[in-house]
Amino acid sequence: MSHDFAKGVAALESQIDSRIAAYFSSCVHCGLCAEACLFYTETQDPRYTPIYKLEPMRRLWKEQHTFWGKFAIKLGLSKPLSEQDFADWEELVYDSCTLCGRCSMVCPVGNDITYMIRKEREGFAAAGYTPPGLQEATHRALTIGSPMGVTLKTLQAALRHVERNTGLKIPMDRQGADYMALFSSMEVVNFPEYIESVARIFDAARLSWTISSQAFEATNSGIQIGSREAAREIVGRVVDAAESLGVKYVISPECGHAYTAIRWEGPNLIGRPYKFEIIHILELLDQLQQEGRLKLSGLTETPLTFHDPCQIVRRGGVIEPPRDLLGKVASGFVEMADHGEMNWCCGGGGGVSANERAEGLRLKVFDRKRKQLEALGVKTLVTACANCRIVLEEGIEDRDMDVAVIGLTELVAEHLATTPATASDGSGAES
């Protein structure tokens, strides 16, 4: 990718809003955010201190928005932001931050450091200082429709398997359905059992649902790399498909950042509220279960714990639904010491897992999760994000641990009270 320093500075400058200005004005460099970041706790490298990752943006803010900053630049006492700064900080901004948001929860002055890094990435992306892995994923998302290169044909092949395994007809492009389901490429390719589980649950609950052939991919590399234009294009596809099908709800899959992208950033990217609602799959399952439409039976007695996907829980607000659901299907559910809003990241969010260059560091910081699991002593880890799941599985493999990782939606599907005997067509009507 070619580099454009001036474009990067302009993009970075445009990100400095009241929030960013207040955050930089408030920071007293206490360093407490380091203690909340697994990249620091597992390496003890001070460069991984979250607020330090914002040094390029802070310097730009200082030289443009503060008296001493302007004064020092004029007198030649400090050097203005340079292209070398982009080059030097690229690794810190992308490889050592999963946008997990843990640092934002502990800052004494209340700085949302994750929001700042998300904004800083806009400048880095505009300047062309981004990891090749993320560049390629974003390119594939824009040209093919999926960061992993999953096409409609790939999805259709996966759906045929699902139909064969379940005896159900998966509804495609059903006009006027209540719900439109999205999936992540990772689910289509690595965990098709998620799609199968969704199909079985929706059939059991008699949900009126569909999949759009125009927009089935939920992930958004634009958010991860920090390109507002790419993110808007990707979200726009989902919005167009949902509005043309006339659905009332779009279901975000388990994937964490997909939820942040479509639920919280999406309307701001397209510049208007949606004409439909976004509901996360866990929120929907919990709601169906509470309404009595999703009947569950039996309890898994195996001791298990739950890994909170950061973007669903801490940054997304879906905190209780996974716990409600686990309470209905598992009797041996135990929480890790730091859980829910204060969970520790798997180490692969925010585009880190798509960044091959960061693999060594990602596996190193997995030690945080390893310590959590070993402290608890359970052998089954439930999660609700395909990306977390693959990252956790790789970490477990790398550390030679005896822990199985399963998806929460699949666990719920395993406890469906009855398996419908008839093949539903997804219309929601009784067959």
For the bound state, the minimum distance from the C-beta of residue 162 to other proteins, rounded and expressed in Å, comes to 31
Burial zone of 273 (CB within 10 Å; 0-12 exposed, 13-18 middle, 19+ buried)? exposed
Binder among 12, 97, 100, 111 for other proteins (CB under 8 A): 111
Rule CB under 8 A: say whether 356 interacts with other proteins.
no
Backbone angles phi, psi at 65, to 5 degrees: -120, 0
3-state secondary structure 227-266: CHHHHHHHHHHHHHHHHHHCCCEEEECCCHHHHHHHHHHH
For the bound state, the minimum distance from the C-beta of residue 367 to other proteins, rounded and expressed in Å, comes to 15
Rule CB under 8 A: say whether 273 interacts with other proteins.
yes
Rule CB under 8 A: say whether 306 interacts with other proteins.
no
For the bound state, the minimum distance from the C-beta of residue 372 to other proteins, rounded and expressed in Å, comes to 11
Rounded to whole angstroms, how far apart are CA atoms 267 and 263? 8
Alpha carbon of 46 to those of 33, 80, 84, 338, 352: distances in Å? 11, 23, 20, 23, 19
Rule CB under 8 A: say whether 319 interacts with other proteins.
yes
Binder among 9, 11, 34, 281 for other proteins (CB under 8 A): 34
**Strand residue runs (E) in 257-323:** 277-280, 304-307
For the bound state, the minimum distance from the C-beta of residue 248 to other proteins, rounded and expressed in Å, comes to 13
Rule CB under 8 A: say whether 36 interacts with other proteins.
yes
Rule CB under 8 A: say whether 32 interacts with other proteins.
yes
* Beta pairing class for 249-252 and 179-181: parallel
Q: How many CB atoms lie within 10 A of CB 251?
A: 25
Rule CB under 8 A: say whether 106 interacts with other proteins.
yes
Q: How many CB atoms lie within 10 A of CB 327?
A: 12
Contact positions with other proteins (CB under 8 A) in 51-80: 51-52, 65-68
Q: Which helix (H) or strand (E) holds 406?
A: strand 404-407
Stretch that binds other proteins, among 45-53, 81-89, 150-158, 391-399 (CB under 8 A): 45-53
Please count the helices (runs of H) and the strands (runs of E) in the chain: 22, 7
For the bound state, the minimum distance from the C-beta of residue 163 to other proteins, rounded and expressed in Å, comes to 34
Q: How many positions of this chain bind other proteins (CB under 8 A)?
A: 60
Rule CB under 8 A: say whether 14 interacts with other proteins.
no
Paired residues of 428 in beta bridges: none
Stretch that binds other proteins, among 4-12, 107-115, 130-138, 155-163 (CB under 8 A): 107-115
Binder among 80, 110, 132, 298 for other proteins (CB under 8 A): 110
Binding site for other proteins (CB under 8 A): 16-23, 25-32, 34-36, 40-41, 44, 46-47, 49, 51-52, 65-68, 104-112, 115, 263-268, 271-274, 277, 314-317, 319, 338, 341-342
